[in-house]
Structure 1
Amino acid sequence: MMVFVWNKDDLNDEQVDAIEHDGSVFLIACPGSGKTRALTYKIALELSRLESDRHWVVAITYTHRAAEEIEERIERLGVNTERLWIGTIHSFCLDWILRPYAIYHEKLKFGFRVADERETEQRLERLCLGRQPRIRPFDCNHYFTPEGCRLEAPNPARRAQILGVLQHYWAGLEAERLIDFEMILSCAHDLIVNEPSISILLSSIFKFVLVDEFQDTKEIQYAILAAILRAGAGRTRTFLVGDPNQAIYGSLGGYAMTREDFAALCGLELADKSLSINYRSSSRIVEYFSNYRVFAADVEAEGKDRDYASLVSFDEETAHQGVDDEIVRLIRYNCEQLGIAAREVCVVGPRWVQLAALTRRLMSALPEYSFDGPGMAPFARDQNNFWFKVARMALTEPSPQLYIRRTRWAKEILVELRHIGISVRDLSERELLRRCNGIQIDQDDGLAFLRLYFDEFCLALGFELTDSSALAEHHQTFFARSEAQIAQLEGAGVQGVSAIGMFRRVFASRTGITISTIHGVKGAEFDTVIAFAMLEGMVPHFADPDGDRSAKKLLYVVCSRPRKNLHLIAETGRLDGRSLPYSTTAVLGACVFGYDEVPDDA
């Protein structure tokens, strides 16, 4: 294969400097600086440099969607991705550590299955039921470090009781040979520490390990990757990309390790590089979000919207009962007066529970607009459920645009089937796609369509649902959660929820107004962002021990998403759990800026 080359205008000087560096790189990239482009071109370059079919390039992304996007970009550049592994850290640990080396782990050696999100919820609900003092399932949210378990929001008064619930929870999982999402990392770390030969072998296979969004990486993830890099003794290099100012997953264990600390951990020299040119936002938007930097960083607006006359508004007067009306007003003004496309508008709030209800109310108030929001999918969107993976194939049409993505999904399905013992040894991704494409179902009801499709899928691959208890359990969970989701949507007055068209929309390109949490919107960009509930105790979370610092990072993320317009709302009169009114997020209230007024007749 020839070494990958790009056109002169594809990259700027900063990007070229980072990509062409002969060694490991620690790249800090400001919002809108072409971080994904730099990462994509770096992966393409290193793939083209591979000299052996035995070697791989590995890229760790924060989400499955990011992995799909990057792989598709690389394919469009004409670079073969056959020797590329790209996915989340959890998928990496499953594919490269747990499944190949489970026999060396006491909890995994007789086989294991990953419990899906619903199973975890149900088990914790049962264990929390009737406990005094009251413990709720979300009180049990936790993550693992190399030293052990940490609670997300520790309550000193209940810590012992919560850990007691978790001990019962873990014992129940072990008895049924199950591990959950967090245990994937914990078990992978156990194997890396206790079986050094694993790191040595992996480092001989991986020529390059790239990490996207390093600021959201957990300590245990750093430890796993560093062990592999250290075992390579310089043969395996790394390329880390991120922005410490956007490190908003601290409560989940994520943090931005410094270049010096990671270099010491993995035993490599890391070149210090940066991307400082923002191609996304107007100069006014860049000027505004720069107020919330925690770490010093130069950001310069140079994109096509650089000189756009942005509206930046801040509302502390609207009462919480009137927030819906104000959001409707702002949506109409942006779309109907400023000409912003609906798909380029995003409404942001701090909590999913508020957003699901808000989405349904906005759908009622703005029937002429479509919405992409939480709780609007008419079926269970659990990435770890096998039948969700099959549903993606069922609800997307074969097309050149989706070929790479659907091939990736086919590979995931085959890996899962092989892992649970279904014989698909001679089945390729392409053949699986062909068989899926041949399934024709004439059914207008979405759930009925999927039931029939899943039956035909089993028939096309030559197995029955009863051949695997795991598949049967996932099947039951998928439809139980989907039926509950549809009932909730119909109860809220949403029309046409059961129609197959609504099901297909879940995997279609973004068409409507996006509704998202701050965490969910990270990495995205829109023409207009409308953020509400910018209140102390929500932004940041009331239990955050580093409140002002976290609030700055959250606001930095929110305010760096728009290209053109930004509207911030800190409504009055919203009450907390003690019936006390929330106040404006302190660091937002303290920011001195020449805000704009949105006309009253908007």
Structure 2
Amino acid sequence: MPLPPQGLPARGLPARTADALLEALDPDQRDVALALTGPVCVLAGAGTGKTRAITHRIAYGVRTGAYNPTSVLAVTFTARAAGEMRTRLRELGATGVQARTFHAAALRQLGYFWPQVVGGAPPRILEHKAQAVAEAARRVGISVDRIAVRDLASEVEWSKVSLVTAEDYERACAAISRPPVSGYDHRTVARLITAYEEVKTERAVIDFEDVLLMLADMLASYGKVADEVRRQYRHFVVDEYQDVSPLQQLLLDQWLGGRKEICVVGDPSQTIYSFTGATPRHLLGFSSRYAGAQVIRLVRDYRSTPQVVAAANRLLARTGRRGGQGPLELVAQRPAGPPVAFTTYDDDESEASGIAERIGRLVAAGTPPSEVAVLYRTNSQSAAFESALADAGIGYLVRGGERFFQRKEVRDALVLLRGAARSADADVPMPETVRDVLISAGWSAEPPASRGAARERWESLQALVALADDVAALAEEESPATVAGFVAELDERASAQHAPTVEGVTLASLHAAKGLEWDAVFLAGMSEGLMPISLADTDAAVAEERRLLYVGITRAREHLDISFARSRNPGGRATRRRTRFLDGMWPDAPRTQHRRPAKGAARASLSGEYDEALFDELREWRRGVAQETDKPAFTILVDATLAAVAETRPSSVAELARINGIGPAKIERYGASLLEIVGRADGRKDPAEPIS
């Protein structure tokens, strides 16, 4: 694919002035936008609008004529982030600017220059290392299973992005006290790395790290290639610069060729991927490397309430200075919200049930499930929350599972929509046509009553319907949205893995939550051994665990709930203690103690002693009401409220009203039924007083 020609005018620029672009920014963001010549370092705290600042900087440079849009290359680390940046730049009128991941930009350039430099087509990309690593292990005579292959593949990747060769691997690992992989000593892993490279050579394939290495070498070795790239790209922007690896920095240096037109953006306090080779030293040392560099700090937090921001600041207050500077102290810009909740549970099962109960309350009060997340340290912790949410009738999504655009129903729907795009009636609104097409794919206006695969399929198709509505709403009157345009939007999102929101609570590890945000966040399992994780046995590793918790806290916009369980299993010894990171923040007395739920239900109540037969009868009544009204069961009354009814056995409206979760509206709808059920259990024929 050829590099885009220079000198093309930016198309589709909005009729806004350069001053109007600046007016949309706060003073610090405006300083970023005005810093059009490099070197520039933007230290941006969580929620401070860094993407907004750098996209407005690029758009302002294009609008004022300081930049030819095709001369700007913005690189980031995920396809999703690159897709979001392209969308924002397009909306700001800066079309023609290249916004890509490091790998996407490098692959494009390598593919263009390979026929000129080497001849023929570039080698095939090895998308997965597992088979090559397994073959390399066989050649060096070591026995491996699936888990070992995965770990060894990650170690091969670490060595390559860290620019550590097989010859230097033992020495490099010793220098940083890097632990052995899956029980294999460093010398054995070094031999495996050599064998892995031999396997690739024999198969005439390269891996993703080779793409960056080969392009960097090509730029360093062939002046004509370097000159052409440097004539094309004159201005560079690097997002999430705290996560750049030595290999990525090597390629960036070749792109720059000694020039200083670079703007980097990052936050050292969000460095959480050092195990993959990422290092913040390039960000921390930017001012030393580029004398006279402009350093701009973004500290106004627009994401989180003052309560959440205060917790984040206190967490980092005890960290030392890195690179001659302390952590950014955020300044909250939102109105006050609820206090941060700290909850201690008896065991993991109680923690999962208690969190599910509280999520039910939030959802019943109007918070969409898609705006709620449960975050934990390891993926193995998700099972308890999946079970508890299922018991409570609350939908959920495990982040890191099958990608949205890889789901069969979505792929089938895209095929149908592409066909419809060729014959769609221009007089029929696009969303209506999309609905008609998706009906044949299994969509219906109302969700299926059952959970499981049928409901998941409907949720995927419903997400496409909702996205069609959003696209149509953003279209201009003189240029209404079309099915063809909608399909193009889907294709772009698919390439960027930018999936529309599927309604459901997000379950994710803290690492997977980076770059995301929700109205409500539950940080679960915050005990020693999990946070910091027991594998963190050096000061540097513990410091990174603290930063990981900081990332988790700053994902919350309004509600933040931090919890841990004293024991792993119900009835087990209470040997766990909460994480050291929250010393001075956690209340001396636990805010809530949840007893072990019975039969897997979220049965937190006043004392934990209640009539289980009555509780089960109340749940059966709720199930019937849910079927009659076609509502999720938890929106009627959550399990904790039913448990409280079964414990207190109210005989009047006044007693019913004293139960948490039963307000005037609930009494009007369900009060008579509840009192009747309790009355039957107590041998009474009628409620003690009428419901009026």
Does residue 315 (structure 1) correspond to residue 367 (structure 2)? The answer is no
- Return the letter of the residue paired with 1:94: L
SS in 1 for 2:452: coil
In structure 2, the residue matched to 1:434 is: none
Q: 1:111 aligns with which of 122, 136, 143?
A: 122
In structure 2, the residue matched to 1:372 is: 397
Distance 1:344 1:256, change over 3 A: same
SS in 1 for 2:558: strand
Deviation digits for residues 360-398 of structure 1 (CA, Å, limit 9, x no counterpart)? 42452233x33232365388859xxxx999889549889
Does residue 101 (structure 1) correspond to residue 113 (structure 2)? The answer is yes
In structure 2, the residue matched to 1:592 is: 585
Deviation digits for residues 337-379 of structure 1 (CA, Å, limit 9, x no counterpart)? 5x43322111111223443x35642452233x33232365388
Check whether the contact 1:378–1:502 (CA below 8 A) recurs between aligned residues: no
Does residue 179 (structure 1) correspond to residue 206 (structure 2)? The answer is yes
C-alpha deviation, 1:547, in angstroms? 2.7
Does residue 568 (structure 1) correspond to residue 562 (structure 2)? The answer is yes
- Return the letter of the residue paired with 2:562: L
Deviation digits for residues 559-587 of structure 1 (CA, Å, limit 9, x no counterpart)? 11112121122333349xxx999955643
SS in 1 for 2:512: helix
C-alpha deviation, 1:203, in angstroms? 2.1
Does residue 71 (structure 1) correspond to residue 94 (structure 2)? The answer is no
Deviation digits for residues 60-93 of structure 1 (CA, Å, limit 9, x no counterpart)? 122111111122122222x1412x1111111111
Q: 2:75 aligns with which of 43, 48, 60?
A: 60
For 1:122 and 1:259, locate their aligned partners in 2 and report how far apart those are by CA, in whole Å. Answer: 36
Deviation digits for residues 187-224 of structure 1 (CA, Å, limit 9, x no counterpart)? 33333443455443322211211111111111221221
In structure 2, the residue matched to 1:146 is: 163
Q: Which has the higher contact order (CA 8 A, sep 6+)?
A: 1
- Return the letter of the residue paired with 1:271: Q
In structure 1, the residue matched to 2:104 is: 91
In structure 2, the residue matched to 1:19 is: 33
Q: 1:361 aligns with which of 376, 382, 387?
A: 387
Q: 2:190 aligns with which of 159, 163, 185?
A: 163
For 2:117 and 2:533, locate their aligned partners in 1 and report how far apart those are by CA, in whole Å. Answer: 37
Does residue 520 (structure 1) correspond to residue 512 (structure 2)? The answer is yes
Check whether the contact 1:47–1:81 (CA below 8 A) recurs between aligned residues: no
- Return the letter of the residue paired with 2:372: V
In structure 2, the residue matched to 1:330 is: 358
- Return the letter of the residue paired with 1:240: V
SS in 2 for 1:347: strand
SS in 2 for 1:332: helix
Does residue 225 (structure 1) correspond to residue 252 (structure 2)? The answer is yes
Check whether the contact 1:128–1:136 (CA below 8 A) recurs between aligned residues: no
SS in 2 for 1:318: strand
Distance 1:286 1:51, change over 3 A: closer
Does residue 131 (structure 1) correspond to residue 142 (structure 2)? The answer is yes
Does residue 495 (structure 1) correspond to residue 453 (structure 2)? The answer is yes
SS in 1 for 2:113: helix
For 1:399 and 1:42, locate their aligned partners in 2 and report how far apart those are by CA, in whole Å. Answer: 40
SS in 1 for 2:265: strand
In the alignment, structure 1 segments of 5+ residues that lack a partner are 401-436, 447-492
Distance 1:513 1:127, change over 3 A: same
For 1:381 and 1:101, locate their aligned partners in 2 and report how far apart those are by CA, in whole Å. Answer: 31
In structure 1, the residue matched to 2:425 is: none
C-alpha deviation, 1:255, in angstroms? 1.6
Does residue 273 (structure 1) correspond to residue 278 (structure 2)? The answer is no
Q: 1:45 aligns with which of 60, 65, 76?
A: 60
Does residue 549 (structure 1) correspond to residue 574 (structure 2)? The answer is no
Check whether the contact 1:29–1:35 (CA below 8 A) recurs between aligned residues: yes
SS in 1 for 2:346: coil
C-alpha deviation, 1:246, in angstroms? 0.6
Distance 1:16 1:498, change over 3 A: closer
C-alpha deviation, 1:41, in angstroms? 0.5
Check whether the contact 2:566–2:574 (CA below 8 A) recurs between aligned residues: yes
Distance 1:558 1:375, change over 3 A: closer
- Return the letter of the residue paired with 1:114: I
Distance 1:125 1:258, change over 3 A: closer
Check whether the contact 1:279–1:303 (CA below 8 A) recurs between aligned residues: yes
Check whether the contact 2:369–2:505 (CA below 8 A) recurs between aligned residues: yes
Check whether the contact 1:531–1:569 (CA below 8 A) recurs between aligned residues: yes
For 2:584 and 2:592, locate their aligned partners in 1 and report how far apart those are by CA, in whole Å. Answer: 19
SS in 1 for 2:511: helix
- Return the letter of the residue paired with 2:201: E
TM-score normalised to structure 2 length: 0.63
Q: 1:287 aligns with which of 291, 295, 310?
A: 310
TM-score normalised to structure 1 length: 0.71
For 2:59 and 2:420, locate their aligned partners in 1 and report how far apart those are by CA, in whole Å. Answer: 24
Check whether the contact 2:241–2:283 (CA below 8 A) recurs between aligned residues: no
For 1:81 and 1:48, locate their aligned partners in 2 and report how far apart those are by CA, in whole Å. Answer: 11
C-alpha deviation, 1:264, in angstroms? 5.8
For 2:420 and 2:527, locate their aligned partners in 1 and report how far apart those are by CA, in whole Å. Answer: 45
> Aligned residues, how many?
497
Q: Percent identity?
A: 20
In structure 2, the residue matched to 1:121 is: 130
SS in 2 for 1:170: helix
- Return the letter of the residue paired with 2:581: L
